[in-house]
Amino acid sequence: MARKTVERNISYDDIRHLYYVSIDLGRDENGKRIKQYRTFPTLAAARNGLKEFHATREQPQFVPAQEMTLSQWLEYWMDSIVRPNRAETTVYAYQKIIDNHIDPALGDTPLTKLSAKQVQEYYTTTQREANLSSNTMRRHHDLLSSALRSAVRQEMIPVSPMNRVEPPRPRPKETSFYDNLELKQLYQLIQGKPLELPVKLAGSLGMRREEICGLKWDNVDLQRRLVIIREARTAYGANIVQKETKNRASVRTLYLADELCLLLEQEQSRQEALRCQDPDNFNPEGYVVLDHKQRPYSPNALSLAFTRFVRRNNLPRLTFHGLRHTFASVANSAHIPLPDISRALGHKDVVVTGRVYTHIFDQTHVEAVSAVARSIRGA
């Protein structure tokens, strides 16, 4: 049975094609959780079934701080603070961490007795046994820090034990990127292929894959040669959602050079011809980038298609996200100022750009130091 979590308390069996709703009935006399499962044919029916259960069961009283466990606090925090204020993708990611890791390891610990030592040991044990990276464990740390800060603010605990926990040290990811010649070779090989447009949007504009998948014709102005980045198409569980961009700085307007403008004009004409054949069903949402079945890409499907293209053509290893790094590298080689690169990438500030792309800007530092040395020698 291949069940995948869709959202909190709902999973999908892609063999039986049924949605499973997990209903928590509390604990038995031995402290073991009691769960009941019900199946539904559609996600909407599963959601309604879960709502009915919550509506009909007796509403529990808020547990006093001295009796509340970490599991109970995290459930309250997710329902009252995270869900109303955060994106669905964030809610899904948090819930997955809680259900798969934090709850089994620390859930039964009384909130007022949770110690820094317990959390530190949880990091070590979970990273080793679940084979998780330090970057992933840092997300666990950020989740617990946020949840326990809220507990302090709501006077459930006097001070957060996270203040004394040493956070996992994230390791910078080594991301490959192409130089100018390699990018030119890629562009030559991909010309006329279905992946040409998304690859050039990433390599020539520095767009994120989620932004490319979520780009709609409403946000493309070919007369003024502009692309406006407002939305992103992203995945959580079995769901694909269209949402706002990563942050406020990610909302930006990008200029289209001749080649990319022509490519978009050709794609728009191609899609208009297909829409005339099937006006009611063809691409009703108006997405710019479509797969070979004329459907909008999911981010993971786009990455996989690109990886396969790179392998088939014996190109140097590169992920789709590596195209964004390639854009930054080529722009840096062309001596584009860092603030301009940062704005094009949709970063909050140049500090973020310098930290994430430090491997690229190290070369600029070498060139700058060498130039100063030459200047001194010639003085």
- Where are the domain boundaries for CATH 1.10.443.10 in the chain? 180-369
What's at 308, amino acid-wise? R
pLDDT digits (tens, 9 = 90+) for 169-195: 877 666 788 989 999 999 999 999 999
Top-tier CATH class for 180-369: mainly alpha
What's at 265, amino acid-wise? E
pTM of this structure: 0.66
Half-sphere exposure of 83 (CA within 13 A, CB side): 10
Please report the pLDDT score of residue 295 as a whole number.
92
Please report the pLDDT score of residue 60 as a whole number.
45
Please report the pLDDT score of residue 371 as a whole number.
52
As a whole number of angstroms, the longest Cα–Cα distance in the chain is: 85
Please report the pLDDT score of residue 359 as a whole number.
59
Task: Quote the crossing angle between the two packed helices 320-333 and 299-312, to the nearest 10°.
Answer: 70
Q: Is the pLDDT of residue 255 over 90?
A: yes
Measured CA distances, 22 to 33, 54, 106 (Å): 12, 12, 21
Taking the C-alpha atoms of residue 167 and residue 19, their distance in angstroms, rounded to an integer, is 37
Q: Quick one: pLDDT band at residue 2, thresholds 50, 70, 90?
A: low
Which position has the higher pLDDT, 351 or 221?
Answer: 221
What percent of the chain clears pLDDT 90, i.e. is strictly above it? 52
Please report the pLDDT score of residue 103 as a whole number.
94
Q: Which long-range contacts (CB under 8 A, 24 or more apart) does 127-131 make?
A: 127/168, 130/101
Query: Which residues make Cβ contacts (< 8 Å) with residue 220, sequence separation at least 6?
Result: 226, 227, 228, 264, 268, 288
Please report the pLDDT score of residue 22 as a whole number.
80
Please report the pLDDT score of residue 345 as a whole number.
86
Please report the pLDDT score of residue 1 as a whole number.
46
pLDDT digits (tens, 9 = 90+) for 342-378: 888 888 777 767 666 655 655 554 555 455 556 556 6
Please report the pLDDT score of residue 272 as a whole number.
95
Helix, strand, coil percentages in the chain from 3-state DSSP, rounded to 5: 55, 15, 30
Beta strands 226-229 and 252-255, pairing class: antiparallel
pLDDT digits (tens, 9 = 90+) for 84-105: 888 888 888 999 999 999 999 9
Q: Quick one: pLDDT band at residue 241, thresholds 50, 70, 90?
A: confident
- Where are the domain boundaries for CATH 1.10.150.130 in the chain? 63-171
pLDDT digits (tens, 9 = 90+) for 124-162: 999 999 999 988 999 999 999 999 999 999 989 999 999
Please report the pLDDT score of residue 59 as a whole number.
47
Q: Which whole number is the average pLDDT over 255-272? A: 95
Q: Is the pLDDT of residue 107 over 80?
A: yes
Asked if residue 203 lies in contact with residue 327, where contact means CB atoms within 8 angstroms, the answer is: yes
Please report the pLDDT score of residue 245 as a whole number.
75
Taking the C-alpha atoms of residue 145 and residue 79, their distance in angstroms, rounded to an integer, is 17
Radius of gyration of the chain (CA): 25
Beta strands 231-236 and 3-7, pairing class: unpaired
Q: Which whole number is the average pLDDT over 8-25? A: 80
Asked if residue 95 lies in contact with residue 11, where contact means CB atoms within 8 angstroms, the answer is: no
Please report the pLDDT score of residue 75 as a whole number.
93
Please report the pLDDT score of residue 308 as a whole number.
96
pLDDT digits (tens, 9 = 90+) for 291-338: 989 999 999 999 999 999 999 999 999 999 999 989 988 888 888 888
Taking the C-alpha atoms of residue 89 and residue 95, their distance in angstroms, rounded to an integer, is 10
Of 1.10.150.130, 3.30.465.10, 3.20.20.370, 3.60.20.40, the CATH number of 63-171 is: 1.10.150.130
Please report the pLDDT score of residue 316 as a whole number.
94
Please report the pLDDT score of residue 158 as a whole number.
92
Could you count the other beta carbons within 10 Å of the beta carbon of residue 215? 27
Output the DSSP codes for 36-59: EEEEESSHHHHHHHHHHHHHHSPP
